[in-house]
A and B are shown apart, each in its own frame.
Chain A
Amino acid sequence: MFGIPEPWWSVIRAVVWALFIIIFLAVNAIVAVWLERKVSGRIQRRIGPQRVGRPIGWAQTIADVFKLLVKEDVRAEATDKWVFLLAPAIPFAAITLMFLVVPWGKNLIPLNLNIGLLFVVAVTSFEVLGLFMAGWGSNNKWALLGAMRTAAAMISYELPMVLAILAVGMTAGSLNMNDVVNAQSRVPFILIQPVAFLIYYIASLAEANRTPFDFTEAESELVAGANIEYSGLRWAFFFLAEYGSLVGTSAIAATLFLGGWRGPILPGPVWFLIKTYLLVYVAMWIRWTLPRVRIDQLLDFGWKFLLPLALADIAVTGIVLALL
């Protein structure tokens, strides 16, 4: 294409997509933090940030980013050096990889894997590795407690999440993200698989460490959780991953259940962003409504309710598919 030989063309394509995803995640963090502060403000009948970038405070997060960039990179003596230094990169890398298989429009997908759904499940699990490395490498009891809780919560919620995704895969008859979107050309899967959507969304809140399942942070209990010893840019990477994970799980939910980029009049990427940020907004709305559940309640709910429900959903889906 364009007179460029094929191997080079693939390299250019990969680099452009990688840059796009990373820039999208960085911009998303800025927008999502701003949105979070605005939504929380409105729920508490405040107005949120408004002074930097009047009148809506659009420049507040950008100013915060510059503050984080110039902060000192602090590392305590007793930390496990390489584990501590490398940990912030892993959650961010996992989120970046997740966007590799998310379709933005017709034929607008970074990598058209035929096992896209499986790939998503696989790479999101890396996030917990990064957080656990942070907790372990910090050599701090609060960080370790936060990391342990996160690991427990994420592993418990990974299973119902995978099963919910599996139900979607069964309905669509494919694990390819493009096929899943195309299967929703008439009816979005949220109407066919409402239970799977609920399970996925609850599990994704736990996966993205959002309230009511925000055990990584748990400000009121663990000070700051796994990232307590981090400051400046390294901390910013955790933050980037947190909001990236929020938008990532929302993007997957939009693709699997809301029809992805499909929609009338507007172009595909616009529909995709609208649906994604609608789900991001719902997550924020939930965050500023519900308190944090206790860790044992969280595990109880995951193992004793969501997992059986997800299994039952798969069984019902299988029976219905066999009968049709």
Chain B
Amino acid sequence: MKVADIGKAAVNIAKGLGVTFGEQLKKPITNFYPDTPATVKDGYRGVPVLVQLPTGEFTCTACMACVRACPIGIIQLDTVMVDRKRAMDEFRLEVGRCLQCNLCVESCNFDALVMAPEFELASYTREPLVLYKNDLAKLYAKYFWPKEGEEHHFPARVTSKHHAPGAGTGTPRGPRAAKIAQTGVTLTPGGGGGEPAGKTPVGASVPAESAREATGTTRPQDTGAQKAGEGA
């Protein structure tokens, strides 16, 4: 041990003490979580929830794309025929096993599934972790329904490809969205909801195309998946 080493050590210890003393003067960054609500970052994947408009209508078309996309098969979708058209009757999601992989959301051609930033899912048994369509709609309403005096904006769908801000504004497409547009709900700016498409035949994709052009998003898998959904 040299005396010079001791001197060097003394200088460094003084530096370290200076750093720790400075830290004490800064404001703690503690988040008082249960006392004050915690916030999550944009794009946080919590629970995939079903989009339900304030009118009570689901935008889901029962195309089963999400059921096929789910790698662990925790989505079950029961269909029912309404006016000779297939519609979603019940939706079942075992959120306790969900990987938050976002594949169901990305596979949805109608933006009827979005990730809600819900994270307080703890429960004592497994039963509360099986969510049905009304539970999912409740979660959607909790996070995405407009506050008093606001217009309803459909949540941005964050996909792995379009993670940049502005990408995927989540404007609903397809015939259902067009029909919803008639109910008077304001859609996002640039959305295809303004199209008078009430009489559009099932499967017509005019509003969808316009929405895609407006938002400028390109999803090559769209066409195929959509056709598969429509063809079923």
Contact = CB atoms under 8 A, between A and B. Distances in A.
Interface stretch (A37-45, A106-114, A156-164): A37-45
A288 B1 contact: no
Nearest to B35: A51
B28 A288 contact: no
B189 interface: no
B41 interface: no
Given A290-B13, A300-B1, A305-B6, A45 B29 contact: yes
Interface string A31-67: 0000000010111111100000000000000000000
B55 interface: no
B21 A285 contact: yes
Contacts of A45: 23, 26-30
Interface residues of A, number: 17
A286 B24 contact: no
A39 B28 CA distance: 12
A43 B24 contact: yes
A46 B21 CA distance: 14
Interface of A is mostly: helix
Given A41-B28, A47-B28, A290 B23 contact: no
Interface residues of B, number: 15
Contacts of A43: 20, 23-24
Interface string B72-110: 000000000000000000000000000000000000000
Interface in B1-38: 1, 6, 13, 16-17, 19-21, 23-24, 26-30
Given A300-B1, A305-B1, A305-B6, A46 B20 contact: no
A289 B16 contact: yes
Contact of A42 (B1, B19, B24): B24
Contact of B28 (A42, A285, A286, A289): A42
A203 B110 CA distance: 72
Interface in A281-324: 285-286, 288-290, 300-301, 304-305
Interface in A254-290: 285-286, 288-290
Contact of B17 (A39, A41, A286, A304): A286
A88 to B, nearest CB: 32
Contacts of B26: 45
Interface of B is mostly: helix
A41 B134 CA distance: 44
Interface in B165-216: none
Contacts of B16: 289-290
A44 to B, nearest CB: 7
Among B6, B19, B23, B27, residue most surrounded by chain A Cβ atoms (within 10 Å): B23
A43 B24 CA distance: 5
A286 B13 CA distance: 9
Nearest to B25: A42
B23 A285 contact: no
B156 to A, nearest CB: 33
A304 B29 CA distance: 43
Contact of A46 (B6, B17, B30): B30
18 contacts: A41-B28, A42-B23, A42-B24, A43-B20, A43-B23, A43-B24, A45-B28, A46-B28, A46-B29, A285-B17, A285-B21, A289-B16, A289-B19, A289-B20, A290-B13, A290-B16, A304-B1, A305-B1
Given A46-B29, A286-B17, A290-B16, 17 more contacts: A42-B23, A42-B24, A43-B20, A43-B23, A43-B24, A45-B26, A45-B28, A45-B29, A45-B30, A46-B28, A285-B17, A285-B21, A289-B13, A290-B13, A300-B1, A301-B1, A305-B6
Interface of B: 1, 6, 13, 16-17, 19-21, 23-24, 26-30
